[in-house]
Chains A and B, each alone.
Chain A
Amino acid sequence: MSTHDNSHDLEVLDGNTSLDRFEDPGHPEHKPRRGDLDPKANKKAERQVLFLFAISVLGTIGFVVAYFALPPGDNPESMRTSNLALGGALAFALLGIGTGAIHWAKALMNDHEKSEERHLQASDAETREAAVQALQDGTDDSGISRRGALKGAVVTAVALFPLTIALPLIGNIGEDWNVSKLKHTMWKKGTRLARDPSGRAIKASDVTIGSVFHVIPEDLEEAEHPLDEKAKAVVLLVRLDPRDIKSEQGEGWSYDGIIAFSKICTHVGCPVALYEQQTHHLLCPCHQSTFDVADGARVVFGPAKRPLPQLPITVDDEGYLIAQSDFHEPVGPSFWEREK
C-alpha cells in the first residue's frame, strides 16, 4: 500500500500549519435586491403579495360556493365535478397564503444574513461534576447501595407486574390459539362443488374441455364464519383432455379430465386466478408463481416451492361434482408445523 509511505511524507508538510490550510475569507458581501434600491420595485412586490393573499380569499369563497352549488350527486360525472371544484378552490385558498407569505419573506423582509455562535454540545466540567454529585447524593439519601435486598425486591416486583396486563391480552388476542385449524378446510366426502359466488352446484356435464370454474363448497354459507372458510376452501376447476394429463397428486383424484386444485397460492396465499389454456399454466398475479395443471400443479416458475394441493373429486348419482375428501395436505402458505 503505497499510501502509507506517502502519508508519512505528508506528515512533514503538516508541521507547517500555515502552509497546510487556507484561511476562511469571511462572509461575502451582501448583494442588495432590486427592491432594496428601487422603491418602485419594492412597491410592486408589495402589490404582488397583496394579490396572492387576495387569490386565497377568492379560493375560500369559491370553496363555499362549490360546496353548496355542486353536490356530488349520484353519477360519476357529478362526483368528479364536485371533487375537482372543491379541491381546486382549496388549492387556491392554500397556495395563495403559501406563496404570498414566502414572497413577502423573500422580497420584502430584511435579507441580511446573521451569524450566531455555536457552543459545544457537552456541558462544562463544573456542571458535569455537579450532576455526578447530585446523583451520588441522591443514591446516598436513598440508601439503596446498602440495602441489597430492597434493590432485588423492587426490581422483581416491577418486572413481574406487566404480567397482569400481558396475560389477559395474550390469552384472548389469538382467539382459541388452535392453529391446527390451518390444516383443514370444510371440504369433506360428498360436498358438492359449487360456482363462486352464486353457490350453484356444478354438473360434470357443464364443464367443457378448456373451461375454468371458480369453485366454493356448496354449503359455504352454512359455516360459522363463511369468509374464514372461503379463504381456505376456494378451488379452481379445469377440464383438460384426459390425454394431456401427465400426472396427478393421487390416483383417481380427477374425473374424466376434470381436475380441481386449491386456489390459494402455496407461496404467500394470493388467489391463483390466471389460467392459460394453451400451456395449462396457472399464474399467481401477486408474485408470478406458475403452476402446471397438467403435471400435478408442479411449480414451473416463481417464488413458490410446493404444488397447489389437489382436491380429490368425483361425481354423485345425479351427475354433480363432489369432493372425495378434504385436501390431503394443508392449503396455502407454508408454516412451521404444516407437516406435523
Chain B
Amino acid sequence: MSTTTAPTTSTPTPLGRAAAGTADYLDQRTGLGVVVKNFARKIFPDHWSFLLGEIALFSFVTILISGVFLTMFFVPSMGETHYTGPWDSLRGVEMSEAFSSTLRLSFEVRGGLLMRQIHHWAALIFMAAIVTHMMRVFFTGAFRKPRELNWVVGFTLLILGLAAGFSGYSLPDDVLSGNGLRITDGVIKAIPIIGSYMSYFVFGGEFPGQDLIPRLFTVHVLLVPALILALIGLHLLFVVLHKHTQYPGSGRSNKNVVGFPLFPIYVAKAGGYFFTVFGVIALMAATMSINPVWNYGPYDPSPVSAGAQPDWYMLFLEGSLRLMPGGAEFVTWGGYTVSLNIIIPAMIVPGILFTLLAIYPFVEAAVTGDKREHHVLDRPRNRPFRTSFGVALLVAFFILVLAGSNDLIATHFHLSINDITWAFRVLFFVGPWLAFVITKRICLGLQRKDRELVLHGHETGRIVRFASGEYIEVHKPLDAHERWLRVQHDNIRPIEIEPAEDSRGVRRKGYQLDRLRQRLSQVFYEDRVEPVTPAELAAAHSHGEHDEIASESHEPAQVGGGHHLVEPEGETTTDGRNTQV
C-alpha cells in the first residue's frame, strides 16, 4: 500500500495528472507537503469508547448545518404581531415575531420542521456525548500528564455547551422557555448586592423587557459558537500534539501508539461516522416530535403548565432548586435579603460539582506524586478511588436530574410529591457516599479476581480424582497476552514525605503542605490490591511443583476457590489492604 502512495507518477491518467498538478501548485505556495507527510499516515488507536468524543464533534457539525438553515427564517425580535398562518388554534393570537417566525419555520417552510427537530435533537445528543466522553476520559485516567490542559479545554466546552443549549432553547419565545427565563431571572436576582442590577443587565430593564431575544440570539449564533469552534480546534490540536491515548494490551506502551493510519482508515471510518451520527439524528427528527411550541403558545407571564421539564442537561439545576427547603432565606441586620434558598442550590451546589470535576486531574497528580507522561489508559478497576469518586459525582448529578422530574415521578407512580422531595433530599447526601463505598468494593473485588486469574489460571471444569480420594478442579494458566493485561499497571502506593525536622532538628518549610498531600494520598491509595509480580507467580507455581504444563498431576497451586498456600494471608482482609510479606 505504502508504495503506491509514493510520488511515482508513472500512471499519468488525466485525473492523476490533475491531482498532481493541484498538489504541486498548493505545495509551492503553502509547503503543504510537510503537513501531508506528517499527518496522512498518523496512527490512531481503535476503541469504541473513543467514538463518544466523535459523536460530540459530529453532532456539533450537524447543529451548525441545521442552525444556519434556521437563521435564514427565524426573526429574533420581541416585536408584537398577530399570527396569520395556517395553524388554526393560534390564528389571530398576539405574539412576538420570534414565536411567529418559529411557527412559520415549522409549518410553512418545507423541511423547516425537520431542520428544527434535527437542531434540537442534535443539541441534546451533543450534550449527552460530551458528558459520556468526559466520563470515558475520567474513568480511564486519560486526563493525566500531558493532557491536563486538554481536560480543562474540554471542561470549558461542557460549560459552553450548556450556555449554547440554554440560549437556544429560549429563542422561540414560547410559554415554556419564557418560564425558564423567568426562573433564570429569579436566580439572577438572588445574587447578593448586585442581583437586581444583573437582572437589568441581562434583560435590558425589567423582565421580560424588549431586548432579551435579540441579545440571546447574538449569544447563541455568534458568541458561544465562535468560542466552541475555537476551543474544539484547540482540543483537537492537543489530540494531534499528544497523539491519542490507548488502552493497555500487549505491545502497547507509553512509548508507542498502536493503531491504524488516518488515511485511509480513519478518513473512511470517521467520515462515515459523521454521516451515521447525522443520519441517526435525522431519523430521530423524522419520527420523534421535540419542543412542539405551537402546543404551548406564545410567552405570557400568567399561564404555566404542570409537568414542564427543561432539556435534560438543565434538569440538575431544576432539581437542585426543587430540593432546597425555603427556610434558608434570611434578612441581614441592615435589612438586606439573602436568598440562600436559591444561592445554595443554583450556585453553590453546581459550583462544587463543577469545581471538583475541573480540578480533579491536578489533585490526583499532586497526591500521586507522579511526574511521568501517561499514554496507556487505566482500567477503571485499577484506580478504585478515582472510579468511586467519579461514580459518586455522577450519582449526585443524576439524583438532582431525577429531582428535576419529581412532579412527573409523582404523577406516573401516584406518589406524594412531598414524600418524593424528602426522599431525594436524603438521597442527595446519602447516595454519593453509598455509591462511593460500593464502587470501591467492586473495584477491589475485580482486582482480586485479576490476581486470582493470574496466579491460578482459568477454571476448566475438569475434575480430577486422586488415588487418595481427593477431588480437584484443573486450572489452565493464562497465556502471556491475557496475563499482561492484568499485571501491566503501576503499583501505586501512598507517597512518602520527608520528615518534619531535618537532621539538626530544625523544622522544615512546607512540611504542612506535604503532610496534607500525604494524608490525601493515603485516602486515595491506602486501600489497594497490588498487581501480581513474577516472583509471586513463580512462588505460586513452585508450591504446585512446577506443574503448569502437566495439569493432570496433583496441583494445589491451581486449585481455585478455597484458601491458598501462596495467597498472602492479608490479601483478602475486608479493608482490601495488601498485607503481603
Which residue of B is nearest A120, CB measured?
Answer: B373
- Of B182, B190, B200, B264, which contacts A270 at CB under 8 A? B182
Q: Tell whether A177 is near chain B: CB-to-CB under 8 Å.
A: yes
Q: Tell whether B273 is near chain A: CB-to-CB under 8 Å.
A: yes
Q: Interface size on B (CB < 8 Å)?
A: 129
Which residue of B is nearest A116, CB measured?
Answer: B43
- Of A101, A174, A288, A340, which contacts B336 at CB under 8 A? A340
Q: What 1/0 flags go to A325-336 for Cβ under 8 Å of B?
A: 000000011111
- Of A97, A109, A268, which contacts B275 at CB under 8 A? A97
- Of B210, B280, B375, B488, which contacts A24 at CB under 8 A? B488
Q: Tell whether A285 is near chain B: CB-to-CB under 8 Å.
A: yes
A residues near B300, Cβ cutoff 8 Å: 197, 227, 230
Given A25-B250, A97-B275, A121-B241, answer yes or no on A267-B201 (Cβ-Cβ < 8 Å): no
Given A305-B326, A335-B190, answer yes or no on A175-B209 (Cβ-Cβ < 8 Å): yes
Q: Tell whether B242 is near chain A: CB-to-CB under 8 Å.
A: yes
B residues near A120, Cβ cutoff 8 Å: 373
Q: Tell whether A2 is near chain B: CB-to-CB under 8 Å.
A: yes
Which residue of A is nearest B43, CB measured?
Answer: A116
- Of A91, A116, A336, which contacts B196 at CB under 8 A? A336
B residues near A84, Cβ cutoff 8 Å: 286-287
A residues near B108, Cβ cutoff 8 Å: 72
Q: What 1/0 flags go to B172-199 for Cβ under 8 Å of A?
A: 0000000100110111011111111101
CB pair B111 A288 closer than 8 Å: no
Interchain CA distance A125-B117 in the complex, whole Å: 55
Which residue of B is nearest A68, CB measured?
Answer: B110
Which residue of A is nearest B283, CB measured?
Answer: A91
Q: What 1/0 flags go to B336-378 for Cβ under 8 Å of A?
A: 1111011001000000000000000000000000000101000
CB pair A91 B204 closer than 8 Å: no
CB pair B301 A231 closer than 8 Å: yes
Within 8 A of B (CB), among A294-340: 299, 301-306, 332-340
Give the distance to chain B from A173, nearest Cβ to Cβ, in Å.
6
Q: List 29 A-B contacts (CB under 8 A).
A: A6-B577, A22-B533, A24-B488, A72-B107, A72-B108, A73-B86, A74-B86, A86-B110, A87-B283, A87-B285, A98-B276, A102-B268, A102-B272, A104-B272, A110-B1, A115-B257, A116-B258, A174-B201, A175-B204, A216-B302, A228-B209, A230-B300, A231-B182, A231-B208, A271-B301, A299-B326, A303-B341, A336-B338, A337-B337
Apart from A98-B277, A302-B326, A340-B335, 19 more pairs, CB < 8 Å? A6-B581, A19-B534, A27-B251, A67-B110, A87-B285, A95-B279, A118-B243, A121-B242, A173-B201, A225-B209, A227-B301, A228-B206, A269-B183, A270-B182, A273-B303, A286-B183, A287-B322, A333-B186, A334-B342
Tell me the A residues contacting B by CB distance below 8 Å: 1-3, 6-7, 9-10, 13, 16, 18-22, 24-28, 67, 71-74, 79, 82-84, 86-88, 90-95, 97-102, 104-106, 109-111, 113-118, 120-121, 170, 173-177, 179, 181-182, 196-197, 214, 216, 225, 227-228, 230-232, 234, 263-265, 267-271, 273-274, 285-289, 299, 301-306, 332-340
